Amino acid sequence: MELCGPRPVAYRSTGGLRNQISWCRIDPGARLEEPYRSPNQSCQLKIEVDHGSLTPERLQSALDLRVSQIKRFLVQNRNPDGSDDLLILLSKVSLHDVATYPERLTELDVVREVTILKKRVDLNGSAT
């Protein structure tokens, strides 16, 4: 049984040309939205670092991000012990990548602690 292929749809009366569309049989149990939804997550990170040591450029290279994925880079607190609390908002990242961020960031010698504050689904999903 052929699952995909051209199928005639209609004839154009003016030119007599036959229009065709491709059709495919879709398994009703397949989760088609997952590959499209996966890279379209956003997350919010709280990172404690040594004072002035983590820049957006260094964050971008550590996490293999594009510039457009860093939506907010905010120094929230400057603590008297010589550390900064950063609030980072990232977009268009996959949940798989978000799960690796704390480990990848703590490998940097200037990062003291990483907390994932919020993960959000951008396309037709529930907030987590």
Mean pLDDT by 10 residues, the chain (128 residues): 51 49 56 59 92 92 94 86 92 90 94 87 49
DSSP letter for each residue of 63-111: HT--GGGEEEEEEEEE-TTSEEEEEEEEEEE-HHHHHHHHHHHHTSTTE
Say if residue 44 is exposed, middle or buried (CB neighbours under 10 Å; 0-12, 13-18, 19+).
Answer: middle
Contact assessment for residue 90 and residue 47, using Cβ atoms and an 8 Å cutoff: no
What's the CA gap between 98 and 72, in Å, rounded?
16
What's the CA gap between 115 and 87, in Å, rounded?
10
* Structure confidence at residue 34 (pLDDT): 54
Residue boundaries of the structural domains of the chain: 4-28, 40-121
* Structure confidence at residue 41 (pLDDT): 84
CATH of domain 40-121: 3.30.70.260
Q: Which region, left, alpha or beta, applies to residue 92 given φ > 0 means left and ψ of -120 to 50 means alpha?
A: left
* Structure confidence at residue 37 (pLDDT): 57
* Structure confidence at residue 40 (pLDDT): 77
Running DSSP on this structure, what letter comes out for residue 17?
Answer: P
Three-state secondary-structure class, residue 44: strand
